[in-house]
């Protein structure tokens, strides 16, 4: 069962004893259906990249009513409603808001963990939005406050990034334990089940095939897609055969082969490279170039930068065997994402941002720039961060600029289809049909 089918199945099952989340979901849905007094908005004279993978519309119009797209297309094909508020975006490019298919939200403040609360969740979701990341799939360590925010976002009043959640990262020692933890997590009504099958470069035990097969079967029973953290090529092949629905990290121990490509294509799976995750493990062994980037500095606490500049801290990273091994893994990961994209495997932009020094918002742009450095075409990357990402994660209300979708969109001063580095020319972020503050 693919991700979209499993999510649809999940949405039609009873919520169980944790029915409060469904109450919030119903309230959000009713709010979204309520009539609004605002006039329609027409953004005109703009280049539109709609996220579907289609060629850009060089002179386009998009009409927004009550937070959703009601018309989009070439200027001569769209009738603008009488009384609409018009805004010319001549010379600009419009794209869907970007989707991070692998983030973590809520726990970190500065470089410290342990701060999971509603206020910190909202701060981080506003930061993501300020960089144009209008949807985040949080793959693990999600608590009750995150579930409630997920269930309150289907409204035209939304002013922060949309959030989807997995709950805890599941771990078990036996198949029976695995089935039990899936059952417990399913009662929370998560969007994904998340597991790790990784030995942390030989330092910790790895989940056994018997256990992850049991978890996969039970996740399928509940209609919840299974996202897997993996590192090794052989493990990833075995996880695909066991029923994994989303590959949440790059294969990093060796180059992928024809068998792996065939498995990915046969099972219609998506692959999130998380190149910046690898980068983050070693880049602070010295001062990274992005510490001088105004786009980065707009959304970061200066005290965090000073801590990362500490010479003793940098020396520890230089001397870390793990950091240096991950550093050696990054070129393999970059080659693999290019090979998979060329073979027609759907890439889904994801970063694993959220843990300390994996900077939310900025790292998503850096990820896309690194995908281009790996050899992907800008339009491939844009699709991987918009419509392709939405399809991969089973999201039906966002990701493309199509009629009926939420008007989550970006206005860019330069055309990212020519060079993905132009995403740094971000000028406006709209969520549910209205501008929200940029990272400043």
In a domain, 244, yes or no: yes
For tokens 């949080």, the residue is 138
User: Tell me: the pLDDT tens digits for 145-160?
Assistant: 999 999 999 999 999 9
How many structural domains compose the chain? 1
Q: Where are the alpha helices (DSSP H) in 170-301?
A: 175-186, 209-222, 233-242, 258-266, 275-282, 294-297
Per-residue pLDDT, 130: 98
Q: How far apart are the first and last CA of the chain?
A: 42
Q: Identify the domain containing residue 274 by its residue range.
A: 3-26+98-400
Counts of helices then strands in the chain (DSSP H, E): 16, 17
In a domain, 81, yes or no: no
424's tokens? 């740094």
In a domain, 292, yes or no: yes
For tokens 């990093």, the residue is 252
Our CA dihedral for 242, 248, 252, 254, rounded to 10 degrees, sits at 40
> What predicted TM-score, i.e. pTM, was given to this entire model?
0.92
In a domain, 226, yes or no: yes
Q: Average model confidence (pLDDT) for the chain?
A: 93
Rounded mean pLDDT of 103-123?
Answer: 96
pLDDT exceeds 60 at position 138: yes
Q: In whole angstroms, how far apart are CA 435 and each of 95, 381, 411, 430?
A: 14, 24, 10, 4
Per-residue pLDDT, 38: 82
In a domain, 61, yes or no: no
pLDDT exceeds 90 at position 315: yes
Per-residue pLDDT, 4: 52
CATH number, domain of 297, equals 3.20.20.140
Our CA dihedral for 308, 251, 169, 149, rounded to 10 degrees, sits at 70
Rounded mean pLDDT of 97-116?
Answer: 96
User: Tell me: the pLDDT tens digits for 333-353?
Assistant: 999 999 999 999 999 999 999
The dihedral region occupied by 115, where left means phi > 0, alpha psi between -120 and 50, and beta the remainder, is alpha
In a domain, 71, yes or no: no
User: Tell me: the pLDDT tens digits for 204-263?
Assistant: 999 999 999 999 999 999 999 999 999 999 999 999 999 999 999 999 999 999 999 999
Q: Are 132 and 420 in contact (CB under 8 A)?
A: no
Residue 428 β-bridge partners: 411
Sorted by sequence, the CB contacts under 8 Å of residue 349 that are 6+ apart come out as 98, 99, 100, 101, 272, 364, 367, 368, 371, 381, 384, 385, 389
Looking at residue 285, the DSSP 8-state letter turns out to be: G
Rounded mean pLDDT of 377-396?
Answer: 98
Per-residue pLDDT, 5: 54
Cα separation, 90 vs 56, in Å, equals 15
Rounded mean pLDDT of 198-202?
Answer: 96
In a domain, 419, yes or no: no
In a domain, 431, yes or no: no
3-state secondary structure of 302: helix
For tokens 């605002």, the residue is 38
Rounded mean pLDDT of 311-322?
Answer: 98
């Amino acid at each position: 069962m693919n991700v979209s089918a499993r999510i649809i199945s999940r949405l039609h099952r009873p919520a169980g004893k944790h029915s409060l989340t469904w109450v919030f979901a119903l309230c959000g849905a009713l709010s979204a259906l309520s009539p609004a007094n605002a006039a329609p908005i027409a953004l005109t004279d703009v280049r539109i990249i709609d996220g579907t993978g289609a060629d850009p519309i060089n002179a386009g119009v998009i009409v927004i009513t009550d937070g959703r797209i009601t018309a989009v297309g070439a200027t001569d094909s769209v009738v603008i409603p009488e009384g609409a508020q018009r805004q010319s975006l001549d010379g600009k490019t419009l794209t869907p808001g970007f989707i991070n298919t692998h983030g973590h939200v809520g726990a970190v403040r500065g470089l410290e963990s342990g701060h999971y609360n509603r206020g910190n969740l909202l701060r981080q979701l506003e930061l993501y939005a300020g960089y144009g990341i209008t949807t985040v799939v949080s793959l693990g360590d999600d608590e009750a406050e995150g579930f409630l925010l997920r269930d309150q976002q289907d409204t035209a009043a939304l002013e922060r990034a949309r959030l989807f959640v997995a709950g805890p990262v599941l771990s078990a020692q036996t198949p029976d334990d695995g089935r039990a933890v899936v059952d417990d997590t399913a009662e929370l009504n998560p969007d994904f089940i998340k597991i790790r099958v990784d030995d942390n470069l030989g330092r910790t035990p790895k989940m056994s095939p018997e256990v992850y097969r049991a978890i996969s079967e039970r996740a399928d029973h509940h209609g919840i897609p299974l996202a897997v953290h993996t590192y090794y090529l052989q493990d990833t092949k075995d996880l695909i055969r066991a029923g994994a629905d989303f590959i949440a990290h790059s294969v990093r121990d060796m180059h992928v082969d024809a068998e792996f490509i065939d498995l990915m294509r046969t099972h219609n799976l998506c692959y999130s490279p998380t190149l910046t995750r690898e980068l983050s493990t070693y880049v602070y062994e010295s001062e990274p170039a992005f510490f001088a980037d105004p786009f980065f500095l707009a959304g970061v606490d200066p005290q965090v930068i000073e801590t990362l500049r500490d010479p003793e801290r940098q020396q520890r990273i230089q001397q870390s065997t793990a950091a240096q091994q991950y550093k050696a893994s990054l070129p393999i990961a970059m080659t693999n994402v290019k090979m998979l994209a060329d073979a027609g495997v759907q890439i889904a932009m994801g970063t694993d941002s959220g843990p300390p020094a994996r900077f939310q918002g900025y790292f998503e742009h850096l990820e896309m720039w690194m995908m281009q450095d790996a050899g992907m075409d800008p339009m491939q990357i844009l699709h991987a961060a918009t419509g392709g990402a939405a399809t991969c994660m089973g999201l039906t209300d966002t990701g493309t600029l199509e009629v009926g979708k939420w008007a989550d969109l970006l206005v860019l001063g330069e055309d990212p289809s020519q060079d993905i580095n132009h995403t740094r020319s971000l000028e406006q972020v709209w969520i549910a049909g209205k501008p929200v503050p940029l990272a400043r």
